[in-house]
Structure 1
Amino acid sequence: MTTTLPTIDYADVRAGAVADVRETLQQIADPKARRAAADEIRETAFLSMATIRPERDELIAAYALHHPEDRDALAQAFGIVRSTLRRIQLEALGQTWGEAGAKLPAKADRPRAAEDAGLNCTDETGPKAVDLATRFQDSSARWKEALDQIGLADAEAIAASGRRVVPKLDRPDFASIRKQAEEQVNKEFATISRPDERLERAAEIVNEAQDELDRLIEDRDKAIASLTCYTTARGINLSAGLSRTGVLRVMQKALKLGRDAALPAREQLAAAGKDAGVPMVKDAHEALPRIAREYETHRALRDAAMPIRNAAIPVMAAAPYEWAHQRIADEIGVPASYVTRTVNA
């Protein structure tokens, strides 16, 4: 059963929610009262997300499993990334995303798997899922903006009183993290021999890892900026898995400086951060190494799977498969020109 899904501009939904939160808080002159109001918005939005999420995920899973043809279009329709779409489907089928062996059924078998799991799809399933997805995006944007506003209020206080002392930052073993991720990919593909299955699974890993990298980088950079501006933390680059130049680039962006500009003196960073709107991130000294571990894991997964994907592309373009370049491109989520370059390399 195919239903045309409503088209929602989720970026506009999020922007409207953010603007509403800012307008509400800008009317409160007292910093403490403004922080308290932001905290109330944060809690209300969080409760809304927690209420909406279970039903949203169940409906998305039902619709996606019954309509498995175009993963990218489905993710866009529900305002989520591909990795989230896969996680929702796996969990609805009783599997755990990220566990070894977690795998969706073949596309042709997914409707039956959904029915076996009690996930039925009617004409109302898709539109209702979109409605819940829209409400979730609104609440999520309010929650994130409220957190930033709380952080800005805290930054204002720190700029006036001095840097916050934090414990020594954890320094993850990034080499071991990369090695473990690479071994995970190699172990999985040792059991996959068919080139079409290797192509599909490798592309899935690459795309989902990139989605996670795109999600994590904002939180990582906020933690870096918060620690740099408002705390006594040292060795931030080693905790973040970046070079010193990498941290410099993050800070230039956070402080709205040009690429060739030097950072303010250390004693001036708190005021510069406040003026640039850099929020104080609660427990950033704990969050940064955790985020960095996740980031490095997904980067290693992507980098390990990409050569496998690219090696399968010319195989599927040649006899006996002879897939058209556009078909391969659609299957793995890249432009057809990329497929052509890979085949001709």
Structure 2
Amino acid sequence: MSSIDYTAIRAKARAEVDDELGEIIDPRERRMLAEEIRDQAYMEMSMLRDERQQLVAAAALYEYAPDLHEKFGIGRTHLRRLTMTFLHKDLDREQQINPPRWPAAPEIEWRQAGRPETIRPLSGRVEAARKAGLPHPKDVVDQAAAICARYEEAAARRRAAISHLGEAGEELRTAGGRVDVGRLERPDFATIREQARTAMLDELAAVDGSSEERLRSAAEAVDYWEDAASELLPKRDAAMFTLAFYTTAHGVYYSAGINRNAFNRALARALGLPGVPDLPKRDRQPAAARTAGVRFVKNADIKLPEIAQEYEAAKARQAAAIQVRNELIPVLAAEDWTAPQIAEAIDRDGKIVRRLLAAAAEDA
């Protein structure tokens, strides 16, 4: 029997639509293409629907197995619904949702009828299929699986396009001005940073072992929180830019955890401008942001404070780990470790280690 990875098929179809639509900056143009993809996918599904149902029904009635539905990328209930609505095409909508039960096996006592034990009566499913004139093609399961794969791919493309339609609609709502949002949450970033810094210092102080083990633990913490901050920063900025360019929010930098100057520099970079003095006036910023390809993030007013808190905590943890790491480097040097050995242990360039050792020598 055929074995098809429907999850991979759906993911690939979604990715292709995302890539195709992601290249289009203008939301109106993107919405038009999304509508075309949606309609084309629906046409493909319509063209495949009858053949798919017939093949699935044939497989289910002639070659049923408990896991057969998995071969077709659908649930067991869906498999039975497709089959029963094929057998009973005159069912109304309510009956299609709750179709008749599977055909039962005929009540024939084949032994009492004097038949040889090797011959069994037809199952109720096979009998129902033949009664409905349903053919039994060779390799019906494989044929059904192949057409189901095409159907699921089209369905995934349609769902992806519909998702982009909603996103493009949100962006178009900002075309004539700004989306109204309420007052933004302003987290206590100073407390958040201090708590994260203290927690990191406590964790590293609790490491029991040699200087080398403590140094490696600190270096690993530096790398981990550096990566975490790197992943959070573009998410924070995307939410921040949405609020700054496309909404009525004021004082966005308070919720982002940065000062006004850093905020304005970030806005200028997002618009591809040389510097802060080149930022357009507030009423022209939505159009400038769309031209620059700044995307609109849904629920940015909720997301920004949450992401910013995570980002600032990650940066504070990273800074604390760097502090501990740098304090341990001279300790290892005093234990006759060379700069290249220390650099290898912390996975950094030897120049950094030599510079830290030189600074420690000056302070001594």
Amino acid at match of 2:313: T
Displacement of 1:285 in angstroms is: 0.4
Q: Give the alignment of 1:1-345 within 5 angstroms.
A: 20=20, 22=22, 29=29, 31=31, 34=34, 153-154=168-169, 156-193=171-208, 194-319=210-335, 322-345=336-359
SS at match of 1:160: coil
After TM superposition, give the deviation of residue 236 of structure 1 in Å.
Answer: 0.4
Residues 147 and 299 of structure 1: is their aligned pair in 2 closer, same or farther, counting only changes over 3 Å?
farther
Shift of 1:185: 1.8
Q: Which runs of 5+ in 1 are unaligned?
A: 1-14, 42-144
The 4+ residue runs of structure 1 with deviation greater than 6 A are: 15-18, 23-26, 145-152
Aligned length: 224
Aligned to 2:52: none
Are the structure 2 counterparts of residues 238 and 24 from structure 1 closer, same or farther at C-alpha, using a change threshold of 3 Å? closer
- Give deviations 1:128-156, integer Å, cap 9, x for gaps: xxxxxxxxxxxxxxxxx999977973464
Which letter maps to 2:189? F
Give the conservation status (yes or no) of the 8 Å contact 1:31–1:153. yes
Flag structure 2 segments of 5+ consecutive residues without an equivalent.
1-14, 42-159, 360-364
Matches of 1:314 and 1:146, distance apart in 2: 58
User: Is the alpha carbon distance of 1:18 and 1:29 closer, same or farther for their aligned partners in structure 2, counting shifts above 3 Å?
Assistant: closer
For residue 196 of structure 2, give the secondary structure of its aligned residue in structure 1. Answer: helix
Q: CA offset at residue 311 of structure 1?
A: 1.1
Amino acid in the other structure paired with 1:34? A
Q: Aligned equivalents of 1:310 and 1:192: distance in 2?
A: 16
1:158/1:230 contact within 8 Å kept: no
What TM-score, normalized to structure 1? 0.57
Query: Is the alpha carbon distance of 1:305 and 1:157 closer, same or farther for their aligned partners in structure 2, counting shifts above 3 Å?
Result: same
Q: Which amino acid aligns with 1:283?
A: N
Do the aligned partners of 2:34 and 2:161 also contact (CA within 8 Å) in 1? no
CA distance in 1, matches of 2:237, 2:290: 16
Is contact 1:202–1:306 with CA below 8 Å preserved after alignment?
Answer: yes
Q: Deviations over 1:221-247 (max 9, x none)?
A: 111111111101111010001111111
Name the amino acid aligned to 2:34: R
Contact 2:21 2:34 in 1 (8 A): no
SS state at 2:180 partner:
coil
Higher CA-based Rg: 2
Change (3 A) 1:155 1:36: farther
CA RMSD after TM alignment:
3.4
Partner-residue secondary structure (3-state), 2:277? coil
| Contact 1:151 1:281 survives alignment (8 Å) | no
Structure 1 residues 25-64: Cα deviation after superposition (integer angstroms, max 9, x where no partner)? 99x95625527959xx9xxxxxxxxxxxxxxxxxxxxxxx
Structure 2: how far apart are the matches of 1:294 and 1:35?
A: 37
CA distance in 2, matches of 1:344, 1:146: 59
For residues 22 and 235 of structure 1, the distance between their equivalents in structure 2, rounded to whole angstroms, comes to 30
CA distances 1:91-143 after superposition (whole Å, capped 9, x unpaired): xxxxxxxxxxxxxxxxxxxxxxxxxxxxxxxxxxxxxxxxxxxxxxxxxxxxx
CA distance in 1, matches of 2:162, 2:306: 19
Contact 1:151 1:280 in 2 (8 A): no
Note closer, same or farther for the CA distance 1:174–1:256 as it changes in structure 2 (3 Å cut): same
Residue matched to 1:107 = none
TM-score normalized by structure 2?
Answer: 0.54
- The answer as to whether partners of 1:177 and 1:297 remain within 8 angstroms in 2 is yes
What secondary structure sits across from 1:204 in the alignment?
helix
Judging changes above 3 Å, is the alpha-carbon distance between structure 1 residues 261 and 305 closer, same or farther for their aligned structure 2 residues?
A: same
- Is the Cα contact below 8 Å between 2:330 and 2:357 reproduced in 1? yes
